[in-house]
Amino acid sequence: MGVLSRPEEVLPLVKLRVAAGRIKRQIPPEEHWAFAYTMLQRVSRSFALVIQQLGPDLRNAVCIFYLVLRALDTVGGTKDYKVLMDKFRLVATAFLELGRGYQEAIEEITRRMGAGMAKFICKEVETVDDYDEYCHYVAGLVGYGLSRLFYAGGTEDLASDSLSNSMGLFLQKINIIRDYLEDINEIPKSRMFWPREIWSKYVNKLEDLKYEENSEKAVHCLNDMVTNALSHAEDCLQYMSALKDHAIFRFCAIPQIMAIGTCAICYNNVNVFRGVVKMRRGLTARVIDETNTMSDVYTAFYEFSSLIESKIDNNDPNASLTRKRVDAIKRTCKSSCSLKRRGYDLEKSKYNSMLIMVVLLLVAIVLGMIYAK
């Protein structure tokens, strides 16, 4: 049945589709800005959607910041964005039109990230400290940079480096967990970001986790990695709770909720080693539509943490630590005294076919109104 079995996701999906179409129609006329926003959509459709939450000046700065870091990543050899590199002069032209505060933040973070990435070209991720350091260079510094851009825009206080770092690390670690199979099967050489200190407790080689005969060990290793990532969640909640500007809040909160949701899907899930594991599009649309206040964030983190808790196997070697971290997240959310009930679920539908038909009829009416304007 797909989306038809989840009528609560239909209207958010419609809104998401309309928003995506609006983005394509809002490409700026100037050549350099047209290239920047077109390229942003090509390299990351999800980021291109989330960035639309921001006001024009900050949106331009974040767009260029993202593209500059993508170009740096290309130089590092992990992605091939030939078009971006061939026409990078257009990105440079757009950069020069940004306010000086924005330029200084982008320059500083790009320089620091380049130095850090160079360090790991020949260095393996051996220890958990190495893992944290690598994630700091490729994502924590992005958190630093965004905090500086928000501050330069005049709407936010400058967040602490520690909290900014955790915002980046939480997202990056979840991506590394989710992308295990893609990275390990990379041609011509595997990309290995899981720290040896963790995976060597379960297998002799990182690639051994993908083999079916090692499924139980692989899941234990996976849960170890997820438990490590959860250590950043409380910092993320603290960072978001301090944001003042609604647009910046949504820009930050939506990816963080997607991360905790992906965390819940990946935890104790052997399919991470078999194929693509991600939140279904309808649930993603709901998160985008329903994330407007800190109460919404607390609710999402509480519900997805509860889903992780429901999947903890007492025989898992990390069960005690996982439960401790989940409990800490839930306590923080509950102490806000602002929890709602969203009913986020990862699997099944609770609705009958008659309700589905009613919802579809309402959606058809809404679509008619949208396209009549």
Annotated catalytic residues are 134, 178, 191, 251
How many Å from the N-terminal Cα to the C-terminal Cα in the chain? 31
User: Tokens 């049945």 correspond to what residue?
Assistant: 1
For residue 212, the 8-state DSSP code is G
The span from the CA of 179 to the CA of 176, in Å, is 5
Q: Answer whether the bond into residue 195 is a cis peptide, omega within 30°.
A: no
Spell out the residues 6+ positions from residue 190 whose beta carbon is closer than 8 angstroms to its own.
183, 184, 206, 207
Rounded CA separation 194/128 (Å):
9
- Residue 77's region, left for phi above 0, alpha for psi from -120 to 50, else beta, is left
Query: What token pair was written down for 268?
Result: 């104790």
User: Hey, how many other C-beta atoms are within 10 angstroms of the C-beta on 53?
Assistant: 21
Residue whose C-alpha is closest to residue 356's, from 292, 299, 282 = 282
- Among 169, 88, 86, 178, CA closest to 129: 169
Q: Residue 275: how many CA atoms within 13 Å on its side-chain side?
A: 0
